[in-house]
Chain A
Amino acid sequence: MSESRQTLIEKILGDAKKEADENIERSRKTAQGVLDEKREEARKKAEGESESLIKAAEDQARSIIESSIANSRIRMNWMILSEKEKIIERVFDEVKKKLREFTRTNEYDKILESLIEEGAIAADGGELQVHLNSYDYERSLALDRLSDNVEKATGVRTTLGKATDPAETIGGALIKSKDGKVAVDNTLEALTESRRKDLEPKISTILFTKTD
């Protein structure tokens, strides 16, 4: 009797312990499940966002490189263009030197007269002042003959006279009406500038085409 009683009591306590242990174990598993689920949820969310973050960084990286290359190419073109402009400017400086030397030759007299005549015709004749540099001022110019030529070309009675105030120029002439309303710049500088745009492509071809 005593033995079976003891066995019964042990069974009651044993079963209870077993159930208690099972309850705790179940809770532990539930807890672990919650943790695993939350970890997985966080991982999925973070990885999704990370993917976008990396993609944005890759796009930014591409843009940085492309923009740097584009800017460098612009800078490269600018460097080349700027160098070409500098060299072309040197050509025009050289041309000015040659023109200055040319104004000391006899051949120039004829050119100067042509420039005066053309300028006067462009000014449509009349009473005109011819502004020359101080060197050309001393030249003896056939202004009467040129006046006749202008008169014939324009049909306007024309008198050409040397202006007393000199022009700051290498050569050529600045033609002004007496009242100053009409002015035609036929200096060599103006002539050079007026041809500049047309001449630059030709100069570029001569300068930058390899001959060797």
Chain B
Amino acid sequence: MVDKVLAEIRDAEKKAEENLAEALKQAKKIEREASIEAIRVYDETYAEIKKRAREKADEIVKKAKADAETEAQKIIAQAEVEVKKLRETAERNIARAAEEVFKEIISFRR
């Protein structure tokens, strides 16, 4: 009777050891898989943040190009206005300027 009891207890202990061993195996597997997963998580996280940054950088440059074009157009439009004003002012004075130059030349002395 005692032998039977001891045998049952030994069986239970054996089973318990097996369960523990299986649990350890499983735990190692979890950690091993986690190290592989960690590489993927690292790469994905890094790539995602860098992708967003590149998109933001591209957007900044794109906007700058558009702003630059707008500024350039404003300046050229301003230049066209200046040129028009210049032409109008000059037009009224061409005859007078030519007369002055003419007088200077015919009253020449080198």
Q: Which of B33, B45, B47, B48 has the most C-beta atoms of chain A within 10 angstroms of its own C-beta?
A: B45
B-contacting residues, A157-206, CB 8 Å? 188, 191-192, 194-195, 199, 202-203, 206
Contacts A24-B30, A38-B41; A102 near B93 (Cβ below 8 A): no
User: What number of residue pairs across chains A and B have CB atoms under 8 A from each other?
Assistant: 239
Interface residue ranges of B63-108 to A (CB < 8 Å) = 63-65, 67-69, 71-72, 75-76, 78-80, 82-83, 86-87, 89-90, 92-102, 104-106, 108
Cβ A203 vs Cβ B17 within 8 A = no
Number of interface residues of B (CB under 8 A): 77
Cα A202 to Cα B76 with chains together (Å): 28
Q: Is the CB of B101 within 8 A of A64?
A: no
Q: A94-B98, A203-B101 are in contact. Are A62 and B64 (CB under 8 A)?
A: yes
Q: Give residues 1-60 of B contacting A (CB, 8 Å).
A: 5, 8-9, 12-13, 15-17, 19-20, 22-24, 26-28, 30-31, 33-35, 37-39, 41-50, 52-54, 56-58, 60
User: B89: which of A41, A42, A62, A207 is its contact (CB, 8 Å)?
Assistant: A207
Is A98's CB under 8 angstroms from B98's CB? Answer: yes
A interface SS class: helix
A-B contact pairs, 22 of them (CB 8 A): A12-B9, A12-B16, A16-B19, A23-B27, A24-B26, A30-B30, A30-B34, A53-B50, A54-B56, A57-B58, A65-B68, A68-B72, A69-B68, A72-B75, A75-B75, A79-B76, A95-B98, A95-B101, A99-B102, A202-B104, A209-B89, A211-B92
Q: Which residues of A contact B69 (CB under 8 A)?
A: 68
- Residues on A with beta carbons closer than 8 Å to the beta carbon of B15: 13, 16
The answer to whether A49 and B102 have CB atoms under 8 Å apart is: no
> Contact at A210–B101, with CB atoms within 8 Å?
no
- The residue of chain A having its C-beta at the shortest distance from the C-beta of B95 within the complex is A94
Report if A87 contacts B (CB, 8 A): yes
CB distance B97 to A43 under 8 Å? no
Q: Are A65 and B71 in contact (CB under 8 A)?
A: yes
Q: Which 3 A-B pairs have the closest CB atoms?
A: A20-B23, A16-B16, A31-B34
Q: A94 → chain B, closest Cβ, in Å?
A: 4
Residues of A within 8 A of B (CB): 1, 5, 8-9, 12-13, 15-17, 19-21, 23-24, 26-28, 30-32, 34-35, 37-39, 41-43, 45-47, 49-50, 53-54, 56-58, 60-62, 64-65, 67-69, 71-73, 75-76, 79-80, 83-84, 87, 90-92, 94-95, 98-99, 102, 111, 114-115, 118, 122, 188, 191-192, 194-195, 199, 202-203, 206-211
